[in-house]
Every structure is written in structure tokens, then in C-alpha cells.
Amino acid sequence: MMSVGEVSREEGDASTQTYAWAPTPPPKRKRHLGLWIGAPAGVALAGVIAASLVLIAPGTAVAGVQVGGMTPGAAAAAIQAQLDRTAIELTGDGVDATLTGAQLGATVDARALADAAYSDHPMWKIGAWFSDTAHAQVTLDHDTAEAALRKAAPALFEDAKDATVTFDDKSEKYVVGEAENGAGVDLDTIATGLQDGFAAGKAAVPVAATQVPTDPAISTDTANKTAKQLNTLLDKVGFYVGDERTVPVDRAVAASWLIVSPRDGSFDITADASAIDKVVATLAKKVDRAPQNGTAITNTAGTVLRTDQQTLDGRKLGDTTGIAAAFASQLAAGDSVYKLKVDVDKATTTKISRYAVVDLSEQRAYFYQNGKLWNSYLVSTGAAGHATPTGHFTVFAHVPLQDMGCVPGYDYCTKNVPWVTYFAPDIGFHGTYWHHNFGHVMSHGCVNMPISTAKTIYDWAPEGMEVTVQP
């Protein structure tokens, strides 16, 4: 704005006055002192509010650690740091050592404890301030703690002795060396002492070093079970064709294949395939064979009474590649029966039926094979008063030499009667050395024969063969 002012003009009439516009004076400024004072206070208040949303309430403690006013992350670090510093002072005969929680591998779940402290006691929650101390469970790392204690107090430790399993050459069996307990420090006592000191917020606490027995890694019971398993392997070890143990393996040889190693409280069993391969190289000579036809003796119904010639199929061993490695795997798994693959050439069995007829009227014995007369011989059967019984009988016993009679109740005694083939009670074919009157009744009921003939029938007639005695 402009204002009206006076201006004198010298030109013209000096008394004449003129007027012009002039600038308006600036207005007076207002002072805002309250705003400058209030802004910092507002910022501070906002900071307090924000902090209350992320900090743990004052007076909050975890074990012996005050965590009020800390973030959960800072609280977790403080909890573990305090545990690391907390120490135990070992006491006892000849023991003088101090170990910290850090040296003992002590830990707590610090992060979970800190998060729980914040969750239950946030700073913004006034009613949660100055709460009871939270419990923190201390855990020791077994290996770290034992190593530290062994170094600090070696006199308290004695190593346990593991059970062993070894092959004994004399007995050809696996035998067990028994386990022995050792000694060490009771880690539960150490953990409890450290726990108490940590909870109380103490820098160090005395703990009596308590010695306790320690178990071996491998017990005698475990070794016994392993030895039994191995000896069972040796009982059956071999190369089989079907159910036949065609190539048995010597127990000591098989034991030389096996490697028994302690591991994780037990034993690992492995086998050396290269050692097995040396035996595999010899298998063909022991397995391969030509077929062998057999002979079986039957009764007239076809029931096999005796095998005179065993029937054996021919066989030829197939490709042996991979047998050693496969058998090594089987042995490690506890199976010592290796089934070989062979090509089979079938053999045949010839069946021969046999039976005998003794004709009392002819004093002759007839022997038949497959329904045809095989041979006949003059004999001497029972004389008067000792008649040979008639009927159908079966051979039930063979006695190479015996006395006949010679006991109370018999009216005769004949010593050393050879080649007796019994087919009825007290009645049989047998050799006769006391007479040669064959073709006539002479005996006490048996069928007398020349000694050589009796031996032939002894060998020819199996148990179960039918014998008919006819008038």
C-alpha cells in the first residue's frame, strides 16, 4: 500500500503544495515460541511409544539375566552370554578346576526365551512390568563337556573297554571278549550346578565332582549276539545246488573272508570278494558231473525198500562272473548259503521188485525179481517138533552173526550162526556150518542154507521184502 504525502515544488508558485503515494510500513511479526518448544517433545513422545512396542518390559528377568528394556534379539544374546560366563568350580579329592558354560558347551534356547519374555511382558503393557523370573533349562553338549572335564580333571576318568568278537582257530568258532565299565564325571550333576548358578545370577558356583561308572560303547550282550550270528553263518557256509551243500567251505577259510568291525555301538560284518573269488575259480571241478542212473529195490506193490545205486542227475556249472561279489553281499547280510545255477542232465532210476517163496514139500527156496525167477536153492527147514511156520511174512532184520538157542527155554544151542535174514519171529534164512544135508528137513524152524548162499540172500533181500512159506 501507498500513503499520501506532501511535496513542495519550487517551480511556479512556492506556496503551492502537491501530494504523491508512499510505501506502507511493514506489519509487526507474531512470535510462535510454543511451536518450537512442543515439536521436540512430540518427537520424543513418539519415540517412547514406538520403543514400547518392540522392547521388553522393565523388571523382566530370564534365569539370572535382566532383559527389561531390551529387544528380543538383544535379550537372546545377553542370556547366552551370561550362561557362557557362568562358571562351576569343581571340588573333590585331587580336583581343582574352574570351567565356564562356554567351555562345557552349555546352551539354552535363548531366542525362544527372549521371544516369550517379550510376548508375555512387552513394555507397553504396564501390568506386565516387574514380573517373576522365567526358568531357562540348561543343556550340556555331551562330547564338549566330557572333553573339557577330561582335560581339567583327568584323574576322574577311566576309559571303558568294549566287548570284542574274534575267530578262535583252535575251536573254529567266533568267541567274545567281555566288555568292562569305565569311570567318568556325572554330567547331570555338572548341568544341575551350572543351572543353579545361572538361575541365581552367580559368576561361579562350587560343584562336587561325582565319579560314576560309564558304559562301554559295545556291550557283551551285543558281542554275544554277533558271535552267534557269525557261528551260524559258518555252520552252513558253502555253495549249494538245490538243497545239497555241494561245495562246503572250511570254517577257517570262511572266517578269513569275513571282516568284523566295531561301529556305532555294534559290529559291521563285511566280506572280501577277492578272497571268495579264489574258491569260485575251483567250483567247476567240484560241481560238474555226468548223470548217474540209479537202481531201487521195491516190494511187489512198488514201494521202495532200498536204493542199491543212487540216482544222480548230471550238472554243469554256468557262468561264474559276479558270484564272489554276490556271495560277499549275502554274507554281510547274514546268509551263507549260496545257490549255484547249473544246467541239469536228468538221470533215470530203475526199480526192481523182489520177493521169495519157500516150498516146504520141495525143500527149496525160490527168489523172484520183477516177477521172474532169479534163483533157487535147496534148503533145510524145520524138522519134526520144530516145523517152519507157513504164511506170508516180510523181512524185518539182518544179523551178521549170532548164537541161536543157548538160553533157558531152548533145547538147543548153536554158536556163531552167520548171515541171518529174519522174516518171522525166531525164523529166518541163515548160513549152516554143522551139516550139508540140504534138501531135507534138519532145522529148529529156520531155513538152513550153505554159508555162501546165506550171505547172497542176506545182501539181496532188503527189509520189507515179502516171503511166502507154503506147504
**Residues recognised as catalytic:** 430, 446
Residue type, 338: Y
Tell me which DSSP letter residue 458 carries.
H
Burial label for 129, CB within 10 Å (0-12, 13-18, 19+), is: middle
Query: Dihedrals φ, ψ of 155, to 5°?
Result: -65, -20
Q: Which residues pair with 356 in a beta bridge?
A: 367, 467
Angle at 470 between CA 467 and CA 471, to 5 degrees: 155
In angstroms, the CA 380 to CA 166 distance is: 69
Is residue 388 within 8 Å of residue 357, measured between CB atoms?
no
For residue 430, give the H/E element and its range.
strand 427-431
DSSP codes joined into one string, 203-224: SEEEEE--EEEE--SS-HHHHH
Question: Which residue's C-alpha cell is 550340556?
Answer: 140
In angstroms, the CA 341 to CA 280 distance is: 13
In angstroms, the CA 201 to CA 65 distance is: 7
In angstroms, the CA 150 to CA 159 distance is: 11
SS3 of residue 372 by DSSP = strand
Q: How many CB atoms lie within 10 A of CB 236?
A: 14
Handedness of CA 142, 148, 151, 157 (dihedral sign): negative
Pick from 234, 226, 146: nearest CA to 190: 146
Within 173-273, strands assigned E span: 173-177, 182-185, 204-208, 211-214, 238-241, 244-248, 258-263, 266-271
Pick from 219, 246, 407: nearest CA to 315: 246
